[in-house]
Structure 1
Amino acid sequence: MTPPQNPVSAPEHPTPAIEARALNLTLGGKKLLDDFSLNIASGELTALLGPNGAGKSSLLKVLCGEAEGGGTIRFFGKERKDYPPATLAKHLGILPQHSNLAFAFTAREVVELGSLPLQLTRKDTQALATEKMTQVDVLELQDRLYPSLSGGEKQRVHLARVLTQLSHAGDQCILMLDEPTSALDLSHQHQTLQVARTLANAGAAVIVVIHDLNLAAQYADRLVIVNHGKVQADGPPWQALTPDTIQRVYGWPVHVSKHPTQDFPVVLPAA
């Protein structure tokens, strides 16, 4: 007779950094999020992909509270609405697609704005801003007036500002980047995503809205492909980036092959 076996305990699942349930958003008669649900884990870089108007940026706006889309949003197991704004600002950083700042601040002054939730001394603020500007390669711009910068330079200055803001987040850190590489040259595209990758490796939950499928495949742990306000594919790059999925979502035939020296998929147009 076979002795009874001890039941196997179910594996523990840590609380997601972000838990979104049943999000809905309609603007101008168009449904941008349709009963949308998603969990994001700490230590994970998630890329949001999809055609223009698919709902990617709208999702970030709803998650951070810029737009109200119904449903439930929790950060680290606690409803977003229950966080005091000053507390949430230390743990949630957002780099928007466009930053409307017309004041004649220097680039350094813009970066130092990120320290406002941290209540640091002037000396510590300056040191922290120098560290983050160096990290994203904008220290040489520190005395330039912000309005005089190029689009890509402005993106990198704001990234340094957000990194400054999150520098005291500890083990509860969420970074949302909305098309952070859209105005950047080749080297700064990779540098920006390397910064995001480093933060995820250190335990942050990182969400990047991006259009370049190959950059997403190279740097992200997980690809969430969105269209018509719904998830069309969700998984590691090799699982999510299939020719059938890409043609169905983007309406264009592609070939998917292995990068010649690294283990991530490369997407090339087939027509």
Structure 2
Amino acid sequence: MLQIHQLQYKAKQRWLLQNIDLDIKSGELIAIVGPNGAGKSTLLSSIANELNYEAASYQFKNEAISSYCKKKLPQHRAKFSQHQSSEIQLKIDEIVLMGRYPYFTNEPEKSDWEIVNLWMQKTQTNHLTDRDYEHLSGGEKQRLHIARIFAQLENDIEQKLVLLDEPLNNLDVSHQFKTLHLIKEFTNKNNAALVVLHDLNIAAQFADRLLLMNNGKIEIFDKPENVLTQERIANVYQYPCTLTKHPITEQPIILFG
């Protein structure tokens, strides 16, 4: 579904990404993990074509990414950024409606509002419609923008891609897991998701594969049980850890300290 070969990105004479090779399949939830400054968000921004990266090739659904119409691409791919504006002069449901902009020119149709309502229900934000955006909590704003991103990809197109940069920020434990289940529900429909996460244990529980980054390079890209070894994690994060197994799923669990 997504194949990238030899992607690199330089800023101020410093390579922030080097020799990135990716092959993402439909139906996969990929968690991008690694220490601060490893290049996780930069990689996601490059995949979203927000940066002037270099790449030997970038194929999306067997076509060069450059061949996609810029007006149609948002119906195939969407990105959630970790930094959202703190001041948006729109009604709450109109913020989610922004995700439907690629589908209408002047006025939204009834189906657009139905999709807005659907995703506000799924993210449990439909009760916020009478509130001012600036008065929402960080977690409420986070869920609202997650609703916007998934409303954008609510269509009949096959093999869609969502890029999520730290979507669990500001969310309580309940909404963290509910959000991850929504992402998993999305990938179970033959779509793919690349998600930047900080919690290795949550990443191991939900991801089909982990992409561990360090110093702008891919340290390893494999199944969680092959990525999360005591020696590797202690070395990459520069902090001692202990490896054990989840008592139910038997997925690896990292204990730091």
Tell me, in whole angstroms, the C-alpha distance in 2 between the residues paired with 1:147 and 1:90: 28
Q: Which moved more, 1:166-175 or 1:236-245?
A: 166-175
Aligned counterpart for 1:243 among listed residues 230, 234, 242:
230
The answer to whether 1:98 aligns with 2:89 is no
Q: How far is the alpha carbon of 1:231 from its aligned partner? A: 0.9
Pairing 1:207-218 to 2, within 5 Å after superposition: 207-218=194-205
Q: How far is the alpha carbon of 1:263 from its aligned partner? A: 2.7
Tell me, in whole angstroms, the C-alpha distance in 1 between the residues paired with 2:121 and 2:251: 29
Aligned residue for 1:268? Answer: 255
Q: Structure 2: which amino acid aligns with 1:191?
A: K
Q: Which moved more, 1:20-29 or 1:157-166?
A: 20-29
Structure 1 segments of 4+ aligned residues over 6 angstroms from their partners? none
Aligned residue for 2:93? Answer: 108
- Count of matched residue pairs: 254
Q: Which moved more, 1:42-51 or 1:233-242?
A: 233-242
Aligned residue for 2:214? Answer: 227
Tell me, in whole angstroms, the C-alpha distance in 2 between the residues paired with 1:247 and 1:30: 26
Unaligned segments of structure 2, at least 5 residues: none
Task: Assess if the C-alpha contact under 8 Å between 1:223 and 1:237 holds in 2.
Answer: yes
TM-score, L = length of structure 1: 0.90
Aligned residue for 2:116? Answer: 129
Q: Structure 2: which amino acid aligns with 1:106?
A: K
Q: What secondary structure, in the 3-state scheme, does the structure 2 residue paired with 1:32 have?
A: strand
Q: Structure 1, residues 36-95: CA drift from partner, whole Å, max 9, x if none?
A: 111111100000000111011001111111001111222111111111111101010100
Q: What secondary structure, in the 3-state scheme, does the structure 1 residue paired with 2:211 have?
A: strand
Aligned residue for 1:12? Answer: none
The answer to whether 1:118 aligns with 2:103 is yes
The two structures, once aligned, show a CA RMSD in angstroms of 1.3
Q: How far is the alpha carbon of 1:100 from its aligned partner? A: 2.2
Aligned residue for 2:25? Answer: 41
Q: What secondary structure, in the 3-state scheme, does the structure 2 residue paired with 1:86 have?
A: coil
Tell me, in whole angstroms, the C-alpha distance in 1 between the residues paired with 2:21 and 2:129: 41
Aligned residue for 1:5? Answer: none
Tell me, in whole angstroms, the C-alpha distance in 2 between the residues paired with 1:253 and 1:247: 5
Pairing 1:60-209 to 2, within 5 Å after superposition: 60-71=44-55, 72-100=57-85, 102-119=87-104, 121-209=108-196
Tell me, in whole angstroms, the C-alpha distance in 2 between the residues paired with 1:166 and 1:61: 18
Q: How far is the alpha carbon of 1:121 from its aligned partner? A: 4.7
Aligned residue for 1:13? Answer: none
Q: Structure 2: which amino acid aligns with 1:108?
A: D
Q: Structure 1: which amino acid aligns with 2:213?
A: V
Unaligned segments of structure 1, at least 5 residues: 1-16
Q: How far is the alpha carbon of 1:101 from its aligned partner? A: 5.5
